[in-house]
Amino acid sequence: MKLRTEPLELHTIFEFRIAHGARRAHRNTLVRLEHDGIEGIGEAAPSHYYGETEAIVEAAFAAWAPVLGDDPFALDEIDARMDQVLMGHGAARAGLEMALHDWIGKRLGQPTWKLFGLDPARTPRSCVTLGMASPEEMERKLETVRDFPLIKVKLGAPGDVENLKRIRAGYKGKLQVDANTAWNPADAVRVLKQIEPLGIELVEQPVPRGDLDGLQWVRERSPIPVFADESAHTLADIGALAGRVDGVNLKIMKTGGLREMQRMIHAARAHGMKVMLGSMVESSLALTAAAQLAPLVDYLDLDGHWLVKDDPFDGAPRERGEIRLGDRPGLGVVPAGSPAMAVKAGR
Amino acid sequence: MKLRTEPLELHTIFEFRIAHGARRAHRNTLVRLEHDGIEGIGEAAPSHYYGETEAIVEAAFAAWAPVLGDDPFALDEIDARMDQVLMGHGAARAGLEMALHDWIGKRLGQPTWKLFGLDPARTPRSCVTLGMASPEEMERKLETVRDFPLIKVKLGAPGDVENLKRIRAGYKGKLQVDANTAWNPADAVRVLKQIEPLGIELVEQPVPRGDLDGLQWVRERSPIPVFADESAHTLADIGALAGRVDGVNLKIMKTGGLREMQRMIHAARAHGMKVMLGSMVESSLALTAAAQLAPLVDYLDLDGHWLVKDDPFDGAPRERGEIRLGDRPGLGVVPAGSPAMAVKAGR
């Protein structure tokens, strides 16, 4: 297999601010994997919060390139060889695994979701995410998403509750909130009780990622279902979270690929947990890769398509949170502006 | 899709006696699923212990045949339609899902294990199982398996401990034991402490299937790792067993197919549980189907090949517990006596 990478710079329409920090330009990496005349593509979106950078992604690919071998089907064997030279590195690993799935699907002439045996009609609608903003900026943002059926609002700053009340006053759809580890358990419960009358569907990661007891403490007192996000990276985390939260937000850049994401979905289901698939700031390439497993979950946060103004790809994310799994082989991602694809309707 | 079934009668070399009962003739059902000029095959092995019979298997197929639809790839959709007319029925469901996987693999020209991304070199060796027997009969049986590296002995009768001592005296390989729900928790711990000096790798299902607290009680006191078998049928059972046992024995006839088995493996791994794949009295067809996921697990009990004297198929099970995943498309099962297949070596 021949591996090549190139920078994939994305710019968000608004500055994207959450409790961890704020940025407008995001330097992702595009992965091209060529073998036997077929090219599979993937995307790595490094997370600064987890210490990942473009340079670290490049270094990981350099370490892995010599051990990829000759058989793109051999996913577990490739994983094992990669682990021998470098463990972890979720974003880079995800980019590579995406390219392998894309290659396999193209080689077999089948969409990736179909090779997983999934039913595209079960794909839920995605939310759109509103980053933190001043009241005036929030008003402008809200104007652009008023006809979305589901909005996720980033919390964790002073004025949260007032901000959310203002949003609710002008928006009739469903609301979710995400604190991105901003609160301590007592503050979390206090805020959640204050915003509960606004009709909030769920709250993500109210407390620091390592505080699993805190998650459980909040869950036992919260009137709103509690989801883990920063606390849920790999399969073992699901075991640790079982009984402590109502659900988990899984992201392909955290899990390092579709297969670990699938494992985590199944493990979460064993405990009756709800599952959301989330995303970093990503192009339609990575969003469409994650969307291959969308029929397995309850909630989607695959809205980067809408947040990014220079998305070079066209895939599953459509308008107003609709995610469509089409019949193109592999991930089904093409350069933006390609002819419309045949699609199956989502729910 | 066109579904046809026919009887598949198997006879064991010895009467196969366990704590639940004893039989020599086993009436399984062969499933033939035809679509688009390709035939996928599967096998249902009804379990009398769970109330399944050949007639019930036939009735389930009659209920499902009209709702199978036209797309063998649509595994989740087919499952959902089947559930609308009839839930459960593990053995029949497994037979049908096997045939679908076989069809998909044949259609794509790839072995099923490869479509799961697995590494055949990680396939463990299978044990061979010794049913209950009188001391004289046990002596005769033991003679035939002395060169197997791993033996599982069925316990749950008076004289167990003496029997096992006799086996250990003449056998140097690894030993596992299976009580098939025969004991109460206190008796279980008493027996396990008695046989521990014989070097026993694990014990399956020491107590009744519904007694999950009993499993945990035994596990906390047992010098031998405790596995659940009769207590582990579907994904939700893994959630309930988490923290109560060291491992689980999964059987395709209990889970209703490879995909639920895969889900359970992943959920068990989230809790650091060990996993065994087991079998009923089955031909090489069903054994080879289950073996497709063998690279994911620690232990195999896919020994029916050796127990059955009229196995009409040739697949993954070879000599002395060796399980080989080959390169034939689909499940890779052919009529017994077909030319040798290309194989990848197991570990």
User: Which long-range CB contacts under 8 A does A207-213 form with residues at least 24 apart?
Assistant: A207/A179, A207/A181, A207/A183, A208/A181, A209/A181, A211/A185, A212/A240, A212/A241, A212/A244, A213/A244
pLDDT tens digit sequence for B78-94: 999 999 999 999 999 99
Q: What's this model's pTM, rounded to 2 decimal places?
A: 0.92
- Which of the four pLDDT bands, split at 50, 70 and 90, describes residue A25? confident
- Sorted by sequence, the CB contacts under 8 Å of residue B249 that are 6+ apart come out as B204, B205, B227, B228, B229, B232, B276, B277, B278, B299, B301
Say yes or no: B259 contacts chain A, CB-CB below 8 A.
yes
In 3D space, the residue among A335, A338, A333 whose CA is nearest the CA of residue A113 turns out to be A333
pLDDT of amino acid A72 = 98
User: How many Cβ pairs closer than 8 A exist between chain A and B?
Assistant: 85
In 3D space, the residue among B122, B178, B109 whose CA is nearest the CA of residue B150 turns out to be B178
Q: CA angle B146-B147-B153, nearest 5°?
A: 50
Share of chain A above pLDDT 90, in %: 80
Share of chain B above pLDDT 90, in %: 80
A114 → closest Cβ in B73, B80, B266:
B73
- Which of the four pLDDT bands, split at 50, 70 and 90, describes residue A202? very high
pLDDT tens digit sequence for B234-257: 999 999 999 999 999 999 999 999
Domain B2-109 identical in fold to domain B115-342: no
- What is the rounded average pLDDT of the residues A106-113? 98
Residue B346 predicted with pLDDT over 50: no
If one looks up domain B115-342 in CATH, what number appears?
3.20.20.120
- What is the rounded average pLDDT of the residues B269-298? 97
HSE value, Cβ hemisphere, 13 Å, CA-based, for B25: 5
Residues of B in contact with A295 (CB under 8 A): 76
- What is the rounded average pLDDT of the residues A317-343? 86
Higher pLDDT among residues B49 and A75, named by residue: A75
If one looks up domain A2-109 in CATH, what number appears?
3.30.390.10
Q: Cβ contact (<8 Å) for B262 and A266?
A: yes
How many CB atoms neighbour CB B162 within 10 A?
A: 10
Nearest 5°: phi and psi at A266? -65, -40
- What is the rounded average pLDDT of the residues B310-330? 94
Say yes or no: B336 contacts chain A, CB-CB below 8 A.
no
Q: Is-contact B57 B31, C-beta < 8 A? A: no
pLDDT tens digit sequence for A116-148: 999 999 999 999 998 888 888 888 888 888 889
A239 → closest Cβ in B259, B262, B271:
B271
Q: Cβ contact (<8 Å) for B77 and A121?
A: yes
In 3D space, the residue among A42, A86, A327, A71 whose CA is nearest the CA of residue B113 turns out to be A71
Alpha-carbon gap: B36 to the closest alpha carbon of chain A (Å)? 16
Tokens of B134: 């009188």
Say yes or no: B73 contacts chain A, CB-CB below 8 A.
yes
Alpha-carbon gap: B84 to the closest alpha carbon of chain A (Å)? 16
Residue A258 one-letter amino acid: L
Mutate to test the interface with A, among B75, B76, B259 (most CBs of A within 10 A): B76
pLDDT of amino acid A316 = 95
Residue B295 predicted with pLDDT over 90: yes
Least confident piece of the model among A249-258, A295-304, B137-146: B137-146
- Sorted by sequence, the CB contacts under 8 Å of residue A272 that are 6+ apart come out as B236, B239
Least confident piece of the model among A149-158, B69-78, B291-300: A149-158
What are the start-end ranges of the H helices in A86-121?
Answer: 90-108, 112-115
- Which of the four pLDDT bands, split at 50, 70 and 90, describes residue A344? very low
Residues of A in contact with B262 (CB under 8 A): 266
Least confident piece of the model among A129-133, A170-174, B206-210, B276-280: A129-133
pLDDT of amino acid B341 = 52
A270 → closest Cβ in B110, B235, B262:
B235
ipTM, two decimals: 0.88
Least confident piece of the model among A138-147, B99-108, B161-170, B180-189: A138-147
- Which of the four pLDDT bands, split at 50, 70 and 90, describes residue B340? low
- What is the rounded average pLDDT of the residues B109-130? 96
Rounded-to-integer distance, Cα B108 and Cα B122, Å? 24
pLDDT tens digit sequence for A223-232: 999 999 999 9
pLDDT of amino acid A24 = 77
Q: Per-residue b/e over A13-34, b at no fewer than 16 CB within 10 Å? A: ebebbbbbeeeeebebbbbebb
pLDDT of amino acid A345 = 43
- What is the rounded average pLDDT of the residues A181-194? 97
Domain ranges of chain A: 2-109, 115-342
Residue B205 predicted with pLDDT over 80: yes
Say yes or no: B239 contacts chain A, CB-CB below 8 A.
yes
Say yes or no: B124 contacts chain A, CB-CB below 8 A.
no
Residue B63 predicted with pLDDT over 90: yes
Residue B343 predicted with pLDDT over 80: no
pLDDT of amino acid A346 = 44
